[in-house]
């Protein structure tokens, strides 16, 4: 069964994956890029190719999301984390997932006024272009060598879509800002949620503390300077791999964001930002 780590891009998904992978998939709780690979993304082209799906046919990919999840879930009784930026939606008459494959979801949300700078850096966009991307409710993430095409939606529709799982009590909302400022409290909350889902494990507070300490932004950023992190994209101008861990907690819209963009995002996402206490 799958526990989804879902989010709009650049919202803290990698930080959560880093802590969880260090806690569950390392011997001592220390972070490494290798351990991060234990929490795969979805949909990957390799997952669909292994199931015999034509990855060049977007409609076939969308129609086979659940079939591929069935394939990934062949090992009965095993729980796995999967990261996704997909909205929880229906495309070409087929749902993104179902409750036969989904045990639960942890949704990570981040103040859109901080997402916009990170998105611009990661995708070689201007701030204006990044803001327009976030507001576009028809947005797809384009297919790449590694990733299949997926429906993203807007920042607010992506967030709202996953709340549909709340009726089954298998949805946990985490704010990136809380994960940064109250890391241990939030991780204990997540571990309790996982226990309620049936992913029972003996709490190892020493290992959790190490996982939290070793995923400090400065430490991970320093690690990226000395090792290749393949989730960092290639710069379209230089061909060099861009820094993935760019600003982190230092990305403060109050200092960095133009008032015009701030107002634009607040107007577009007013309802959700009030709900999330960003406004």
Can you tell me the mean pLDDT for 102-121?
A: 95
Q: Determine the distance from the C-alpha atom of residue 77 to the mean position of all C-alpha atoms in its chain, rounded to a whole number.
A: 24
38 burial type by CB count under 10 A (0-12 exposed, 13-18 middle, 19+ buried): middle
The torsion angle over the Cα atoms of residues 133, 139, 145 and 148, rounded to 10 degrees, is 150
In the predicted model, what is the mean pLDDT of the chain? 89
Looking up tokens 């226990």, which residue turns up?
A: 195
pLDDT at 199: 86
Distance, CA of 97 to CA of 67 (rounded, Å):
9
Higher pLDDT, residue 36 or 267: 267
Distance, CA of 270 to CA of 279 (rounded, Å):
8
Characterize the bridge pairing of strands 140-141 and 150-151: antiparallel
167-210 pLDDT, tens per residue?
678 999 999 999 999 999 999 999 999 999 988 788 999 999 99
Length of the chain: 279
SS3 per-residue string spanning the chain? CEEEEEECCCCCHHHHHHHHHHHHHCCCCCCCHHHHCCCEECCEHHHHHHCCCCCCCHHHHHHCHHHHHHHHCCCCCCCEEEEECCCCCEECCEECCCCCCEEEEEEEECCHHHHHHHHHHHHCCCHHHHHHHHHCCCCEECCCCCECCEECCCHHHHHHHHHHHHHHCCEEEEEHHHHHHCHHHHHHHHHHHHHHCCCCCCCCHHHHHHHHHHCCHHHHHHHHHHCCCCCCCECCCCCCECCCCCCHHHCCHHHHCCHHHHHHHHHHCHHHHHHCCCC
pLDDT at 245: 55
Domain boundaries, given as residue ranges, for the chain? 2-275
Q: How confident is the model at residue 121 (pLDDT cuts 50, 70, 90)?
A: confident
Under CATH, domain 2-275 is a member of which superfamily?
P-loop containing nucleotide triphosphate hydrolases (3.40.50.300)
Q: Which strands form 80-84's sheet, in the order they lie side by side?
A: 40-41, 80-84, 2-7, 102-109, 171-175
Q: Is the pLDDT of residue 247 over 50?
A: yes
pLDDT at 124: 85
Q: Is the pLDDT of residue 71 over 80?
A: yes
* Type and span of the H or E element at 54: none
* Type and span of the H or E element at 103: strand 102-109
pLDDT at 165: 84
Q: Do the beta carbons of residue 165 and residue 6 sit within 8 Å?
A: no
Q: Do the beta carbons of residue 2 and residue 46 sit within 8 Å?
A: no
Across 48-52, 130-134, 210-214, 243-247, which has the greatest mean pLDDT? 130-134
**Phi and psi torsions of 148, nearest 5°:** -75, 160
């Amino acid at each position: 069964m799958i526990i989804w780590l879902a989010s709009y891009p650049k919202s803290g998904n990698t930080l959560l994956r880093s802590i969880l992978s260090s806690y569950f998939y390392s011997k001592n709780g220390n972070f490494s890029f290798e351990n991060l690979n234990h929490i795969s993304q979805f949909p990957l082209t390799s997952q669909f190719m292994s199931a015999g799906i034509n990855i060049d046919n977007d409609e076939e990919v969308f129609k086979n999301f659940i079939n591929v999840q069935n394939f990934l879930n062949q090992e009965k009784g095993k729980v796995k984390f999967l990261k996704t930026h997909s909205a929880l939606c229906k495309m070409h008459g087929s749902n993104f997932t179902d409750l036969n494959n989904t045990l639960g979801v942890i949704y990570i949300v981040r103040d859109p006024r901080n997402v916009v700078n990170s998105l611009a850096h990661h995708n070689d966009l201007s701030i204006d272009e990044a803001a327009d991307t976030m507001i576009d409710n028809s947005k797809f993430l384009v297919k790449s060598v590694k990733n299949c095409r997926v429906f993203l939606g807007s920042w607010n529709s992506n967030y709202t879509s996953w709340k549909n799982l709340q009726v089954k009590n298998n949805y946990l909302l985490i704010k990136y800002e809380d994960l940064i400022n109250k890391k241990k409290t939030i991780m204990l909350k997540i571990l309790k949620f996982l226990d309620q889902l049936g992913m029972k494990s003996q709490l190892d507070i020493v290992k959790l503390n190490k996982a939290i300490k070793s995923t400090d932004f400065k430490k991970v950023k320093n690690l990226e300077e000395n090792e290749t992190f393949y989730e960092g994209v290639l710069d379209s101008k230089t061909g060099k791999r861009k820094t993935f861990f760019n600003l982190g907690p230092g990305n403060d819209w109050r200092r960095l964001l133009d008032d015009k963009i701030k107002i634009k995002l607040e107007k577009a996402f007013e309802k959700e930002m009030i709900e999330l206490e960003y406004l």
